[in-house]
Amino acid sequence: MNLAIEKGDFIKVSYTGKFDDEKIFDTTDEELAKSNNIYNDRGMYGGDVVIVGAGHTIVGLDEDFVGKDVGYSGTVEIPPEKGFGEHDLKLVESVSITKFKDRKVYEGLEVEVNGQRGVVTKVIGRRVRVDMNHPLAGKTVIYEYNIEKLLDDEVEKIQGLFSLYTGLQDLDVEVSNGTATIITPAMLSYNQRWLMSKSRVATEIIENVGVEEVLYVEKYPEAPMIEEATETEESEETESSEE
């Protein structure tokens, strides 16, 4: 007998989001993303791990998970207030084209105005209308989704949560005596998104997995360092022999 999904559960879910006449705007299906021209080579496909009720997805979808069983497949229609919000006219501004200096401005161009990102919706003479609302604001969206798995293992939960924020999967994780140690690749130290979210990820792991602390350990490849040391030693030996 399956147990119903509750808030706080870690689940793996695959989904496809649509709007206006079946237009697909988001999916965990890689081939579907490619065929609908929304493929992101930095995206993660094959399903997301989310904590139910933690705000990892829009409210309407998050709420619909509760009470379902593992293996459930279904569709939910989500109104703007539980999706991407109502369209707010206060977030539409008309600015001078000179604000963009010598940049070519056209409808559909993504820009930044006063620290907010938006899309150019109209260019009239030397005035540019910029909409800072979410592109799907005011729209009713439909999600088709499947709850693939309920995660119980601590390591699997941490790996899943980590991949949600970074797109990296199957990292080395060890949980021992209340401490979760996560081996992270050195390249993450240059990732601005990670630097801004690493504290939140640690907090979510502590609150939802039940560990007392989280340690991030950066891993650097050892081979290049050994090779470099060997080359240095050889150089020193050559210099000594020449003397």
pLDDT, tens digit (0-9, with 9 covering 90-100), for 190-242: 888 889 999 999 999 999 999 999 999 998 874 444 444 444 444 444 444 44
Whole-Å CA distances, 23 to 17, 40, 42, 74, 113: 8, 17, 22, 18, 28
Query: Is the pLDDT assigned to residue 154 strictly greater than 60?
Result: yes
Check: CB of residue 165 under 8 Å from CB of residue 55: no
Return phi, psi of residue 84, to 5°. -105, 15
CATH of 89-131, one of 2.130.10.10, 3.40.50.2300, 3.40.462.20, 2.40.10.330: 2.40.10.330
pLDDT at residue 219, rounded to an integer: 86
CATH number of this structure's domain 153-243? 3.30.70.2210
pLDDT digits (tens, 9 = 90+) for 50-81: 999 999 999 999 999 999 999 999 999 999 99
pLDDT at residue 41, rounded to an integer: 86
pLDDT at residue 66, rounded to an integer: 97
In angstroms, how far is CA 128 from the centroid of its own chain? 31
pLDDT at residue 1, rounded to an integer: 55
- pLDDT-derived band at 243 (thresholds 50, 70, 90) equals very low
Positions of CATH 3.30.70.2210 in the chain = 153-243
Q: How many CA atoms lie within 13 A of 13 on its CB side?
A: 32
Query: Is the pLDDT assigned to residue 128 strictly greater than 90?
Result: yes
CATH 3.10.50.40 fits 1-85+137-152, yes or no: yes
In sequence order, the 6+-apart residues with CB closer than 8 A to the CB of 107 are 120, 121, 122, 123
Positions of CATH 3.10.50.40 in the chain = 1-85+137-152
pLDDT digits (tens, 9 = 90+) for 5-64: 999 999 999 999 999 878 999 999 999 999 999 999 878 899 999 999 999 999 999 999
Positions of CATH 2.40.10.330 in the chain = 89-131
Check: CB of residue 14 under 8 Å from CB of residue 29: yes
pTM for the structure as a whole:
0.79
Query: Is the pLDDT assigned to residue 185 strictly greater than 50?
Result: yes
pLDDT at residue 238, rounded to an integer: 45
Residue type, 83: G
- Of the ranges 80-89, 133-142, 229-238, which one carries the lowest mean pLDDT score? 229-238
